[in-house]
Structure 1
Amino acid sequence: MVTATVHVGNHPSRVAVTPDGKKVYVANWGHYVSVVDTATNTVTATVDVDNSPDEIVVNPTGTKVYVAGMKKGYAAGTDDGFVSAIGTSNNTIIATMDIVGGSPIGLAVTPDGKTVYVANSNISGNSTLSVIDTSNDTVSATVNIETPGRIAIIPDPESVFPVANFSSNVSEGFAPLSVQFTDSSENTTGWNWNFGDGAASKEQNPAHTYLSPGNYTACLIVNNPDGTDSKFTTITVLESSSGDDSQSSGGSSKGGSSGG
C-alpha cells in the first residue's frame, strides 16, 4: 500500500537511506540529489552536484553520502565520470572526484566506511574500478577490469562486526517523559545515541527526558574496528493533562523494545 508520494527532481534513479532511517537521499539524473525527511515525507533540501548522478550510497555512520554518475553533457561510455561526497549535517558537497575509465555504474562502501569502490564502464573496453579513500575523499587507486556491473563487498570471514540492539523501559507516556535506554548490542566498542529531539549521548546506557509531546525516533549507532551497525525505535510523548502531575512523569512500557 502506497502511503505517500514525494515529488523529487527530474528522472530519479537510485535512493539511499541513512542508518537512523530519518533521511532518504534520491539521485536525480537532472543534476540534483533530493533529501527527503521520512517523518514528514517532504523534500527538505536539494543538492546541486552539477552533473548527472545515477548511483548513490550512505556511509555506515550516516555522515556522508557518495553519489556517482556521468559528467553533464557527455554520453555514456566516455571517460567522463564523477563521484561527489555530500556531508549529511548540512547537505553540502565536501569533495568531487573525477573518475577515469568510463561512466560509474556501481557504487559500494566497506562496512568500516574507510573505502568506497566505483565500477566504471567504457564502450572501448578499458573499464576500471576506482578506489576512494574516504579519509580525504580522493581516488587512491584505479584497477583495470573487464565489463564491470554492480558491486558487492564480501566481509572478511575473520572480521567480527557489531550488532546493534537496545531496549527502553517505556515507549510511550506523558511529557515530561523520562526514558532509560539499555544497550544489549554485541561486539561493540563505541556507542552513539541520537534521541530524536536534538540531544545525543555516547554513554552505553543513557537516560533521557523528553520535554515536549511528539513522536521521536531514538537511534543507536554502534561500532568497533571492523564496522558499524544501527538500531532505532519510536518514543511517543503525549501532552500532559492540565493539573494532573501523576501523568506527566509516567509512561507505558508496552513493547519498550527497539525497532529497526
Structure 2
Amino acid sequence: MRSTVSARPAAQAGLSPHGPRPAALPALTAPGKPLRRRVTALLMAAITLLASFAAGVTASALAPAVAFAATGTGYVASIIDNTATPIDLAAGTAGTPIAAGFQPAGIALTPDGGTVYVVNGGDDTVTPIDTATNTAGTAITVGSRPFGIAITPDGATAYVTNSDASSVTPITTATNTAGSAIAVGFAPHGIAITPDGATAYVANSAGASVTPITLASGTAGTAIAVGSGPEDVAITPDGATAYVSRTIGNTVTPITVATNTVGTPIATGGSLPTALAITPNGATLYTANRASNTVTPITIATGTAGTPIAVGSSPRDLAVTADGTTVYVTNLFSNTVTPISTATNTTGTSITVNRPSAIALPTGVPTADIDVNLAAQPHLGILVPYLKYTLSAANTGPDPVTSATLTATLPAGATATNLSPGCSIAATTVTCTYGAIANGASVDKSFRVPLSLLSLGNVTVTAARTTSAPNDPNPANDNASATCTVISIILVTCP
C-alpha cells in the first residue's frame, strides 16, 4: 500500500508494497500472458506456504478483542478477487468489494482521501477509485508487472514501481495520465517518498539496492547497496531516515537520507520481513514477517526489535492509522485483516477479506487551501497620492493554517510604504508573512504604492502564495492581481 505523504508529517504513507506476489496457482496468470515469475520468487513462495501452514496461526488463534479507536475508511486489495474492499475502521467491518484490475498488488489513498489507486500487477494497469461513490474509473496503463505505489504529500503525483520493467511510472492525479518511466534497479517493489516530497526511495528486490529519485527532475540517483532481498521502504515522519526490509537476512536496514549512507541492519526476529510502516510520532517501526506469520515492533530510537506479534497466515502488508493507535495487517492465506493496538502490541478481532494483498488507510495529513485575494483602492490628492493594496489570505480549509507567506510584485520602478506588520519590501517585491488562520477566516495585510506626476497608464500588481503550512491542496487560487488605470494623480480607476 501506503502512500507516502508528508507531514503529519507523514504517517507513511505511502505507501507501498507487501512482498513478492503470492506464488500462486496457474489460475492467477492472466489469460494469454506468460508466467513471469523468477526462480527466486518461486522458492520464496514455497518457503512462505510451508512456513504459513506450519505455524498454523489463524484468525481464531488471535488474542481476544481489545478496544480500538480507529475511525474512517480504509481499502484492502484482493489479489484473487481482483477487487478493492472498503473497511469501516470504527465498526471493524468490510463493505462491498469494488472491481479493479487483474491481480491487485498495491494500493494507496491520496492525502485528501478522495481517490484510492489500485495497482494491478496482472494487467499492467492502475485503477483509480472515487472514494465518495466507490466507483472505479478508467484504468491507467503503466509498466510491466506494476507492484508498489506511493503518492506525493501534495497529492499531485502517484509513483508506481514496475517490477518486470525495472522502472517507476509517475501518474498525474489531476488527469490520471501516466508520464515517462524512470529507470531504476532490477525488479523494484517498495517505494516511499520523503515528507517534503523531494525524494522517492525505491527498493530493487532483485538488485540488492535502493534507488533514490529526485522527483522535481525525475532523475534517478546512484543506487545505494543494502544487501540481497530489499523489499519495502518506510521513511520517518521527520524525513531523516529511510528503512528497508530485506527478505534475505531477515533484517531492516536504516539509510540516512541526508547522505544516503547505510547503517547497521536490525534483526527482526521474524522470517521474510516484507512490508514496513512507521507510527506518526516516529517512535515505532512495524514490519510484517511473511513466513513466520508475525509482525515485529522496532523501537526507532534504539534500533531494537521487540517481541514479534502473532497475526494471521502470510502477512503481506500493513499500515498505521493517522492517530497512531492501530496497525492493520493483511493476512493473505487467513483471508483476514488484523488490527494491532500500538499501545499494547496486542491484536484485536480480525476483519474478513478474501485474499487481502495490500491495504491503504486515510493518512490524516492536514491540508488548508489558501485563497489569495488582492484589492486596490486609490487615495488621491496633490500632496501625497497613493494606491492602497490589501493582500488577503483566506483559509477555505479544511484544516487551520499554521503559517503562510504571500508576495506582491510591483511594477518596475515602484516601491511600497506603510507596510503592515509582517511585511517587508525588497526591490519591487513585497513579502508578507501570516500566522495562524482558522478554517473559514481571512487575514489582511496592506501596503501603499505612491503615485507621482509620471505615474500614468496601468499600474498592475500581482500576488502569489509562495509557502504555507499545512499543505495547500489547491494551487488554482494561489494567485491574484489588481490593475489600476492612472489618468492623473487626481483621477484613477481601480476594479
CA RMSD in angstroms comes to 3.6
- Alpha-carbon separation, structure 1, partners of 2:138 and 2:433: 36
Are residues 1:165 and 2:368 paired? Answer: yes
Are residues 1:153 and 2:278 paired? Answer: yes
Give 1:64's match in structure 2, choosing from 193, 196, 199.
199
Check the 8 A contact 2:185/2:211 in 1, yes or no: no
Give TM-score, length-normalised by structure 2. Answer: 0.35
| 5+ long unaligned stretches in structure 1 | 73-80, 171-177, 194-200, 212-217, 223-228, 238-248, 251-260
Check the 8 A contact 1:11/1:28 in 2, yes or no: yes
Query: Which residues in structure 2 correspond to 1:128-147 (within 5 Å)?
Result: 128-147=251-270
Give 2:247's match in structure 1, choosing from 109, 115, 121.
121
- Alpha-carbon separation, structure 1, partners of 2:258 and 2:187: 25
Check the 8 A contact 2:236/2:278 in 1, yes or no: yes
Deviation of 1:62 (Å): 0.5
The amino acid that maps onto 2:267 is N
| Equivalent position of 1:91 in the other structure | 218
Q: Which moved more, 1:58-67 or 1:143-152?
A: 143-152
Give 2:178's match in structure 1, choosing from 14, 21, 43.
43
SS in 1 for 2:143: coil
| Equivalent position of 1:76 in the other structure | none
In 2 relative to 1, CA 233–179 (structure 1 residues): closer, same or farther, beyond 3 Å?
A: farther
Q: Would you say how many aligned residue pairs link Structure 1 and Structure 2? A: 194
Check the 8 A contact 1:164/1:221 in 2, yes or no: no
Give 1:181's match in structure 2, choosing from 379, 393, 416.
393
- Alpha-carbon separation, structure 2, partners of 1:113 and 1:85: 13
The amino acid that maps onto 2:143 is G
The amino acid that maps onto 1:185 is V
Are residues 1:107 and 2:233 paired? Answer: yes
Deviation of 1:93 (Å): 0.9
Check the 8 A contact 2:237/2:282 in 1, yes or no: no
- Alpha-carbon separation, structure 2, partners of 1:7 and 1:136: 35
SS in 2 for 1:95: coil
The amino acid that maps onto 2:226 is I
| 5+ long unaligned stretches in structure 2 | 1-134, 284-364, 374-389, 407-429, 435-443, 446-460, 479-493
In 2 relative to 1, CA 203–2 (structure 1 residues): closer, same or farther, beyond 3 Å?
A: farther
Check the 8 A contact 1:220/1:232 in 2, yes or no: no
SS in 1 for 2:246: strand
In 2 relative to 1, CA 140–203 (structure 1 residues): closer, same or farther, beyond 3 Å?
A: farther
The amino acid that maps onto 1:93 is A
Percent of aligned pairs with the same amino acid: 23
- Alpha-carbon separation, structure 2, partners of 1:18 and 1:192: 22
- Alpha-carbon separation, structure 2, partners of 1:51 and 1:45: 18
Check the 8 A contact 1:179/1:209 in 2, yes or no: no
The amino acid that maps onto 1:235 is A
Check the 8 A contact 1:36/1:44 in 2, yes or no: yes
The amino acid that maps onto 2:212 is A
Deviation of 1:163 (Å): 5.3
In 2 relative to 1, CA 143–156 (structure 1 residues): closer, same or farther, beyond 3 Å?
A: closer
